[in-house]
Structure 1
Amino acid sequence: MRRIFVLAVLCLLSVCVSPAIASLPYYNKDIGYTIWLPKGWTVASSRDLERAGEQCRPLPIQGLTSHWVAGYMTPELGEGCRLLVEVKPGRKMRPADISNFNNYIVRSLRQSPLDSADDADSVVLKNATYYKEKKVLRIETTIGRGKHALLGLTYIVYTRKGMLTFVGYLAPGEKHMQKVLDTAVLSLYLDDPIRY
């Protein structure tokens, strides 16, 4: 009987511990958050962030410039950043302000012209979800057209000191990576000074 109990406990431990082993925590002390990413991911260098600044926007709205302060890279992507982070300093927003800003973002994306002079710049809203308990707006967009279209995932994390924006870009065949990014950003741990 004891053997069965010990075996059951060992099986339970292996199930509970394996997700923790499969991902690694990355602590960003400058901003104040911890994010868990899969093994093999690395922190982007300042050169990688500069290159991303020329190519990627923080919010899927035309005309906004970016200032990436952190990024994470995957081995299969080579030199490109898989997940980028931008800080928008400000104040703690009231729930009504958050709701108004979320509505503004979604409305702007719905009204963006579907026919752009440059197909690479066209942005089409696919989905937007607000996770009230986490204070996170998740926006899913299609960027570009045809076989060169990318899936853009933008996460706006509301904090006591403004917002953090996490942006990931996926190729059409990378459906599994969507779940990886969702898990990473939605399990984000903010330090006390910035936690909402």
Structure 2
Amino acid sequence: MEKSNSETSKLDRKTVEKNRRVHMKDLCFKLASLVPHHFFKPSKDMLSQQDQLELAACYIKQMRERVEKLKRVKEQAITTIQTSRSGMTSMMIGLRLPVIELRDFGSSIEVVLVSGLNKNFMFYEVITVLSDEGAEVVSASYSTVGDKVFHTIHAQVRISRVGVETSRVWERLQELIS
């Protein structure tokens, strides 16, 4: 009877270990799928799991550095706005609003729009343009700093085979803000 318990225990450990490996493989696949495809030089299929993890870690590091840089830029912009309010010169004088920036990350798009408080800007119109051109908005946010409103929209391609023609999106957004 002890032998059957030992065999059962051994089978249970094998099953648990197999399930653990399958779960880890699934998690690694999910992590690799979150990294934009243009970040991987060769095809993801050709990379070992270790290489995929290293590239994902590198990508996360780059994004962390980018976030830190953007935080510094934001703090500088806030300081500039506060300085301009106190009567000193401002680097933002002469900046024509609204300003739009479009970044294409392959399967995703980021739209950054800076507008003034007095601009009757319809946020939903930008979302409509993205949707019409084949992108699905996954997040949208805005923040107000001084007399400027910073809108950020993240969208993903709805159908990866078709994609989104960013030049067309750019043209339509330019028409929208002019």
TM norm structure 2: 0.28
Higher helix content, 1 or 2: 2
Higher strand content, 1 or 2: 1
Q: Which entry has the higher C-alpha Rg, 1 or 2?
A: 2
Larger RCO of the pair (alpha carbons < 8 Å, separation 6+):
1
